[in-house]
Amino acid sequence: MKRNNQIHLLILFSLTLMLSSCESQIGTAVGAAFTNLLTGAGFRSSSGTEAYEALKNETLGQSGQTEFGGGCKSPDDALTVIGSKDSKNMSAIKDKICTCEAWGTCDSKSCSCQMLCPKNFNILNRSNTAMDDSTENSLSFTNSDSEFYSKYSDYTGFCWGHAVITQRFNRLAKFKPDEPRLGANDPIIRQRELKGIISKINNNEPVDISGYKNLKDFSTDPEVKELLEETVKKNWARNAMSTQGLHIVASGEPNPVDETKKLFDDLDFRVKHNQMPAVVVNDMNESSYAHTVLVSGTGTTDDGKRYLCIRDNNYSPERSYNCKNKMFLNADGSLNYSAWPYRKIGKIELSYTENSNTVEQINNLQSKCATDKGCNGLFN
Q: What is the pLDDT of residues 336-377, one digit of tens each?
A: 999 999 999 999 999 999 999 999 999 999 999 999 999 987
Residue-level pLDDT at 19: 38
Q: How many residues are listed for the chain in this entry?
A: 380
pLDDT tens by residue, 81-114: 445 545 445 444 544 578 888 998 888 888 889 9
pLDDT-derived band of residue 80, with 50, 70 and 90 as boundaries? low
Whole-number pLDDT of residue 145: 84
Burial class (CB in 10 A: 0-12, 13-18, 19+), 44: middle
Q: Looking at residues 2-20, what average pLDDT do you find? A: 47
Q: In what order do the strands lie in the sheet with 335-337?
A: 335-337, 326-329, 306-311, 290-300, 278-283, 345-350
pLDDT above 90 (res 37): no
> Which element (helix H / strand E) includes 296?
strand 290-300
Residue 26 pLDDT level (bands cut at 50, 70, 90): low
**pLDDT tens per residue across span 227-279:** 999 999 999 988 888 888 888 888 899 999 999 999 999 999 999 999 999 99
CB atoms within 10 A of CB 70: 10
- Kindly write down the DSSP assignment for every residue of 97-159, as one continuous string: PPP-STT-S--TTTS-HHHHS-SSGGGG-TTS-TT--SGGGS-SS-TT-HHHHHH-TT----H
When computed from its CA atoms, the radius of gyration of the chain, rounded to whole angstroms, is: 22
- Cα–Cα distance measured from residue 282 to residue 288, given in angstroms and rounded to the nearest whole number: 7
Residue (of 181, 198, 199) closest to 190 by Cα position: 181
Do 335 and 328 contact (CB within 8 A), yes or no?
yes
* Average pLDDT over every residue of 298-314: 96
Mean pLDDT (whole number) for 143-159: 80
Return the H-helix or E-strand segment holding 328: strand 326-329
For residue 69, the 8-state DSSP code is: G
For the cut 60, the answer to whether the pLDDT of residue 76 exceeds it is no
Mean per-residue pLDDT of the chain? 83
Residue 209 half-sphere exposure toward CB, CA atoms < 13 A = 26
Strands 306-311 and 326-329: antiparallel
Q: Is the confidence at residue 182, as pLDDT, over 50?
A: yes
Whether 16 has a pLDDT exceeding 50, the answer reads: no
Question: pLDDT of 212-241, one tens digit each?
Answer: 999 999 999 999 999 999 999 999 988 888
pTM reported for the whole predicted model:
0.84
139-151 burial string, b = 16+ CB within 10 Å, else e? Answer: bbbbbebeebeee
Q: What band does 157 get if pLDDT is binned at 50, 70 and 90?
A: confident
CA distance 131 to 276: 6
Helices 25-39 + 2-17 axis angle, to 10: 150
- Check whether 25 has a pLDDT greater than 80: no
For residue 62, how many other CB atoms are within 10 A of its CB? 11
Contact (Cβ atoms closer than 8 angstroms) between residue 143 and residue 155: no
